[in-house]
Structure 1
Amino acid sequence: MSPATHNNEEDKDKFEDAYEVIPVATTMNLLSSLEESTTGLYLFLNNKFSDAINLIYPWSHDSMYHALIYDILMVVKAILTFEPQDIHIGMTTARNALKTCNRFRGKSRLTFSSHVGFKQGIRSVREEELHAEVCYAECLILKSAVTFIQDDSMLGFLKNGINVGLSYQIYKNCQQILIQIPNHQSKAHKHLVGGIKFGLGAFNLILSLVPPRTLKLLNMVGYSGDREIGLALLHESASENHINNILSVFTLLFYYNYISIAFGIGKGYLSNSATEGLFLTNLQKFPNCVILIFFHARFRMLTGHFELAQEKLRQCIFIQNEWQQINHLCYWELMWCHIFLQQWKEAYHLARLLSEHSRWSKAISTYSQAVILAVLPSVSVSEDMNALFLKVDSLRIRIFGTSVPIEKFVAEKGERYGTTTDWFTAQPILEFLYAWSGFRVMSKRLDLVSKWLSIIDKGENMLRENPSKEYGEDDITLINLLKGLCLKHMGKYWEAEQHFNHVIQREKLLRYDRYLVPYAYYELGILHYLKRDYASALKSLDNIKNYKDYAMEARLQFRAHIAQEQITKETAA
């Protein structure tokens, strides 16, 4: 029996009233499963992580919603920490959740290839079986998320394509069933509808971000994703009261605060009023939720309010200490705030904390420490900068047999900067800024972009006076790309275009940094887009496909695909 009962009709639909502390359930039907699982979610959103897990886990092998929520908690932890152990636990949990949900599914399953067979199957489907189908499909999406973070290559996504396609088909079939069978308006019905909206929304959003050649296998059987439909469904799901609504909120916040910055086009972060409204509503409901406060800090960063972002991040660190990895994410964002503001000592301190205590990526945190140390006065610290640079390669990790592309990039750069002296002090951190979309994050603060441009200009003068015999052409080409980027954000499009073209013209002179040319084509394409010269934008972006086997290749192909899709839509409108 459920520990939470309500006497009036109004309260029947309000799962917000689920108690945070409840006795251990001895039986579990669909409704009590939903209620207890919702309670577990609320414990989690109030930073009571262990309490949430202790409540949900005992039934995770016998209740579909307990299995789903436990899967969500473990996958969220994996995404937050990026630790190999947590990713492994997330994957194991996802597999177990699929097994649990599968036991509740109908004998015929909702993946009929025959339309006639599907229609016949509708007549025999019970509501509980529909819930099981939605839970099963959602667990497939969660498994896909874990797979994606452990391997961000296109090959990794292809390996996962079958599960994503199966999940999508289940959601579509569930949606059709809801249209064709009477709606009894049961208390559990809204959770079913909300889950379908979340699943179809997440599916469309994920698939819309992937380049066409990556989706070739899925497209052969008719699968595709529409970003606008996906976002619309997620907004609907996030606005309604059901067990998946907070996951829809988190998905939207992650998309707008991270994915759209790393892969999107335009002039930087554009505040989305609908998403901001959802964010503020949920923050009022869960004022101490560390994840929501973290996103609030990120929102402040992307609107150029780095000092306010620092306050919110410190609040995150203060209000919880159970999941130290969340604090490490706060340290990471705090470090970047200090870097943007050129507060080197503070940035170095945080990088060192990450290097010593975070297991997320020792290679990246050590490289961060080294690039910041390069711009610090030598009297500030006693650390050996060259030793840090050379240490990076030995700290690289492999997750499920796959090397991390960004770690490979910083390891190669660490070798270069650790064994040579013919580079200017800010060169490593400038390149690191570019690799992490730092200039785009700063795009709302033109005063800061201008300060960084001054540093680039000084570096260019130094490199021209004392060019490196081995890396000289690559260094000057990097400078041109960075100058073009700053000038683009400052609205000086003609000057920026000259620098991007200069990078492209130096292609045959490059010895190591072959990524500079395809990335210059991308930046040039976005520049043309901002000038509304769509034909030239598409032409520049199309040139990227002529380049292969360069640093951060998969990331650029994702970016180019999204840009081309957006420009094509605007052209057709």
Structure 2
Amino acid sequence: MSYEDEDLAAAIAIVKHGNTIASQHRKRTSFASRLTSFIHAPSVSWVKSMNAIERHAELTYAETLFEEAILGIVYSGDWLQFIKEALHMRTCVQIYRLLWKYIQTMDDEAVVAGKGPHDSDIDNDFRSGVYLGVGLTHILLSLLPKSISVIMEIFGYKGDRHEGLEILAKAGGWASDLSVSEPEISAEEEGVRRPICDMALLLFHLVLSSFTFDGVDVKFAHKVLKWNLKRFPSGVFFLFGEGRMSLILSQPEAAVKSYVKAMEAQNQYVNLYCISWWEIAVSTLALWEIPQSLEYWRKLKADATWSKACYTYGVAVCLLQLGGRENEEEADKLMQQVPNLTRRIAGKSLPLEKFISRKARKYQKQQRRLALPALEFAYNFLCINHAPRAVITEKMLP
């Protein structure tokens, strides 16, 4: 959970090790078969010929390949590496969709044979892994910009967001009917990746909902979140979800309490604190409690590594909002630093960092002036949308 080069390099090494182990247990194929696989994807019969270990190895190979591709793109930050890792992603998507087709075929055969809606020979650990991979690839492809998604469709990779969400829900047996509050699959019967599928659903409905609306269902997310919090009352990620839910419902005070609980729930990973600090900084902006927000932007600036430019700008705009000569002098120094703190991923600047870098330069050009910079910064994180009405009328607008 860091952008530091040494951390990314260590993560890539671990993932490659896992990929190597998975490769050693995959079903062996001939050289001719490997060549033809570039033109024609392997068939379901090939998966049927595998034993259970080989199928799990195939799944693990796809997972580690996916992780390696994402880490490689972030680590390198150039287009050449992006193209290389995109080829890995292509292989990963092919494997996931083949395994998904295998599950569908086996389930259909089980129905025809009168053995039930699902093939009992396929264990839930394998199922949940395939659901996770296929669901996430559908959602990720659907989130790509149209210019890129058109190119992907030429190669046969089209993401269906709604299908992806439906597949992720299968891991827990979640019904779309909101009147059904309990999942079909119990904790005792679930696959090992089921909690991750639930986290992915919450991530989409509660976090990515800030950027898109298609497919978002907050009530469904509330159902999933409620069940998981009952099961994992001190689960860090589900406490984050509780905080996001409160923020979406314009209850930033309740959100702050959830994030504090998330910090208190563990002390092993400092970077998990950074997620809470970020969310608290945003939530306190929604409450227009500038001194408290400033405190957490300072913590992020000191310890977090994800976006130094954003944290520095957050400190600066809070100082400008508070006013005073000392605050303005410190803000001026920070604004000068912001453009030099931006970073690139896959050769592209992050949109938020590009925005704040432009604002920091504008601040210098306009003789250390910006129009309502803290309010504008809060607007970018939907803080006005998530703020209680009284906060907007009594604190923000005056």
Structure 1 unaligned blocks of 5 or more: 1-77, 456-573
How far apart are residue 115 of structure 1 and its match?
A: 7.0
- Residue in structure 1 matching 2:147, options 182, 205, 213: 213
Matching residue's letter, 1:140? L
The aligned residue for residue 178 of structure 2 is none
Q: Which residue of 2 aligns with 1:410?
A: 356
Residue by residue over 1:90-148, the C-alpha shift from the partner in whole angstroms, topping out at 9 and shown as x without a partner, is 33333332222111111138994677973663553222111111111222333344356
Aligned ranges 1:390-409 → 2 under 5 Å:
390-398=336-344, 403-409=349-355
In structure 2, the residue matched to 1:138 is 63
Alignment counterpart, residue 13 of structure 2, candidates 71, 74, 92 = 92
Describe how 1:286-297 pairs up with structure 2 within 5 A. 286-297=232-243
Q: By how many angstroms is 1:423 displaced?
A: 3.8
2:203 aligned residue? 254
State whether structure 2 residue 366 is matched by structure 1 residue 432: no
Q: Tell me if the contact between 2:290 and 2:318 (Cα under 8 Å) persists in the aligned partners.
A: yes
**Equivalent runs, 1:1-150 vs 2, <5 Å:** 78=1, 81-108=2-29, 112=37, 118=43, 121-122=46-47, 124-146=49-71
Contact 1:290 1:316 (8 Å CA) reproduced: yes
Conserved? CA contact 2:73–2:82, under 8 Å? yes
- How much does 1:284 deviate? 2.0
- Number of equivalent positions: 369
After superposition, the Cα gap between the structure-2 partners of 1:230 and 1:153, relative to the gap in structure 1 and judged at 3 Å, is farther
Corresponding residue of 1:9: none
Counterpart in the other structure of 1:563? none
Deviation at 1:221, TM superposition (A): 2.3
Alignment CA distance shift 1:373-1:107 (3 Å): same
Asked if the contact 2:338–2:357 (Cα under 8 Å) also holds between the matched residues in 1, the reply is yes
1:222 and 2:156 equivalent?
Answer: yes
The CA deviation at 1:150 is 6.0
Q: 1:245 aligns with which of 194, 197, 219?
A: 194
TM-score normalised by L of structure 1:
0.57
Contact 1:290 1:319 in 2 (8 A): yes
Aligned to 1:301: 247
Q: Is contact 1:148-1:157 (8 Å) kept? A: yes
Q: Contact conserved, 1:348 with 1:373, CA < 8 A, in 2?
A: yes
Q: Is the 8 A contact 1:165 1:218 kept in 2?
A: no
**Distance in 1 of aligned mates of 2:79 and 2:167:** 26
Q: Distance in 2 between matches of 1:116 and 1:355?
A: 48
Report the AA paired with residue 252 of structure 1. Answer: L
**Could you say what secondary structure the match of 1:384 adopts?**
helix
Give the residue type in structure 1 aligned to 2:207.
Answer: Y
Give how far 1:295 is off. Answer: 1.6
Give 5+ residue unaligned stretches, structure 2: 111-117, 174-184
Q: Does 1:197 align with 2:131?
A: yes
2:236–2:265 CA contact under 8 A, matched in 1: yes
For 2:91 and 2:330, the matched residues in 1 are separated by 52
CA shift, 1:388, in A, is 1.3
Distance (Å, rounded) in 2 between the aligned partners of 1:201 and 1:432? 33
**Share of identical aligned residues, percent?**
23
Give, as a single letter, the amino acid of the residue that structure 2 aligns with 1:90. A
Letter in 1 for 2:87: I
Residue in 2 that maps onto 1:171: 96
Instruction: Name the counterpart of 2:230.
Output: 284
Per-residue CA deviations over 1:357-403 (Å, capped at 9, x if unaligned) read 32332221111000011110317858622111112223334567664
Once the two structures are superposed, residues 393-416 of structure 1 have per-residue CA deviations (whole angstroms, 9 ceiling, x without a partner) of 233345676644432332232122
Residues 246 and 252 of structure 2 are in contact (CA less than 8 Å); yes or no, is this contact kept in structure 1? yes
Which residue type is aligned with residue 86 of structure 1? D
Instruction: Report the counterpart of residue 32 of structure 1 in structure 2.
Output: none
| Whole-angstrom CA distance in 1 between matches of 2:262 and 2:328 | 31
Asked if 2 retains the 8 angstrom alpha-carbon contact of 1:112 and 1:118, the reply is no
RMSD value, Cα: 3.4
Q: Any idea what SS the aligned residue of 2:146 has?
A: coil
8 A contact 1:385–1:418 mirrored in 2: no
1:446: Cα distance to partner? Answer: 4.0
Per the alignment, do residues 395 and 172 of structure 1 end up closer, same or farther by CA in structure 2, a change over 3 Å counting? Answer: closer
How many angstroms does 1:434 deviate by? 3.5
Contact kept in structure 2, 1:190 and 1:242, CA below 8 Å: yes
* 1:422 CA displacement: 6.9
Residue identity matched to 2:307: S
Provide closer, same or farther for how the CA distance between residues 283 and 255 of structure 1 changes in structure 2, counting only shifts above 3 A.
same
Give the Cα separation in 2 of the matches to 1:306 and 1:82: 28
TM-score, normalised relative to structure 2: 0.80
